[in-house]
Chain A
């Protein structure tokens, strides 16, 4: 089941409680997360210590909380593209990643 729901603001998503995993899927070239530079912070700007790999960032969403999801991509060559999506049965699309979408900050409201 997917947790994320888009809002009119493309940098804000509503989320249901549960474990949220966002993934990057390369379309052309190489696009991946830079794990040391990716983080998820809660409303008081503390890291929730997400689980990070070069292709996924995962953390537990608690009802009533809001989070900032900070992502930095390693994109090589610069023409590479990828899809940022929620890892779930429907794969909720979050964004199409190119050199121009680096870095990104999302707000997740539960």
Chain B
């Protein structure tokens, strides 16, 4: 566990001092800092023009909303909490009615360990959950929870700069940036619980016998924990940024022409624009708005940097009164309607900021160049070990990609002294992969060629935990002493080489990998092997990509 502690200390130090600066937003403008900036402009006409913008829902809706909420902060907080409560109650009722797991399986394992908090986090995208065989894996990045909160707490919690409700909590952007660099996964294994043991009850009945059967071991155990930290990431370019938006545009236009396009998927941008429309409707319907904005601008333009924020705050109740008054044909909104409209915008504004960050994280940010990963492995029939891994990835020119791995694996406890050559150091690994984009081949379509070489130096022999009375699944060992608790194999160096041709591209969703690999031995078996693999894969997630991406 000492290695785990060391790694946690290292990660915390990264959070305090990010090694590579991603986009920082310490200078995010607020309505108040913008007001002070305007008051310092010596050009009177420009000052007036900028102040008019700040009071116009068409151009500075966030500042108008902040002004409307300002004197009613506690009422706003109560309303938001009530809305969240109502929303979560509806969600729980729906979840109870449908009783479907996000992992899409029978979820027998998930139900054992999935708490409401984990379900909630999974539901709102803070973590992803997947099940493969007897193993369930929960994974995500550390910014997942604050992002989910920002997207679903209706403006009560947001990234600083996107919170319009005074008194709400915000997390500085640099924290989001640092947390987004750390990903994790936790795998839970149910295999030990599936082992059965029994005791006989009563006398045999003919050739049959009644038994009491119990499971042995814990029903769920953590089999692997992985933490990955991005150490070096190239800065995002404007070209990357706009390319992703262009792709989004193409996906949306094809989705809108598709009869299967889902209308129920929420578009945070559209939600924000609709919230603005409501407020524009109130502003356009207020007959005294034009004269009010002229008077308000005249009073603000005289204020200096020290007074302007106070003067602006005083306009809050006036603005609400002008909007509520409406026009000769139609009365304006009630106080409650106006507050609800302002809160809806504040909620949409925070939700849009969360969507922007998620879109950036998934579509616009360049791939990391250097990452450090830590794996805590707790296989059921081997001593637990820790692996520290450096992962390097770099594109070279337009067609080549180089990936390199280096890792050290250590046992978490001292191996038995009766195993010759065994020490804390389990093995040292290195691997390199070179990918070449072959472009589009005649008849075959897009193709990628890939060559991989992996080397492992086994410092200690591979060890298996055994129980002669309960043989490990799939392993038969004859002549094992009845008191044996561990077996070990002959140590040595492992060399693995593979060449692969992958037909089909990420764009086509189909892939046809053809591979040939050779290894001189494996961890347990000391004979060399040749293997050939051929397969077909289809990315079923692509069927949902149109709807999930349109959520941006």
Contacts and interface: CB of A to CB of B under 8 A. Distances in A.
Interface of A: 9-11, 26, 29-30, 32-37, 52-55, 70, 72, 74-80, 95, 98-107
Interface stretch (B52-60, B215-223, B440-448, B467-475): B52-60
B59 A101 contact: yes
A29 B280 CA distance: 29
A72 B352 CA distance: 11
Contact count band on B: 35 or more
Contacts, number: 124
Contact of A10 (B56, B252, B272, B352): B56
Contacts of B269: 34, 36-37, 72, 103
25 contacts: A10-B56, A11-B59, A30-B236, A30-B238, A32-B238, A32-B241, A36-B253, A37-B273, A74-B356, A77-B28, A78-B173, A78-B353, A95-B53, A99-B28, A99-B162, A100-B29, A100-B34, A100-B60, A100-B62, A100-B63, A101-B60, A103-B61, A103-B272, A104-B59, A107-B58
B542 interface: no
Contacts of A54: 241-242, 245-246, 249
B519 to A, nearest CB: 45
Contacts of B30: 100
Contacts of A52: 249
Contact of A37 (B62, B242, B270): B270
A107 B162 CA distance: 26
B537 interface: no
Given A11-B56, A54-B245, A72-B273, 18 more contacts: A9-B52, A30-B23, A30-B241, A53-B242, A74-B245, A76-B360, A77-B25, A77-B173, A78-B162, A79-B23, A79-B26, A95-B59, A99-B29, A101-B59, A103-B276, A104-B58, A105-B58, A106-B58
B248 interface: yes
A36 B29 CA distance: 26
A103 B62 CA distance: 9
A10 B241 CA distance: 29
B455 to A, nearest CB: 41
A76 B162 CA distance: 12
A76 B246 contact: no
B357 interface: yes
B34 A36 contact: no
A5 B136 CA distance: 62
A76 B364 contact: yes
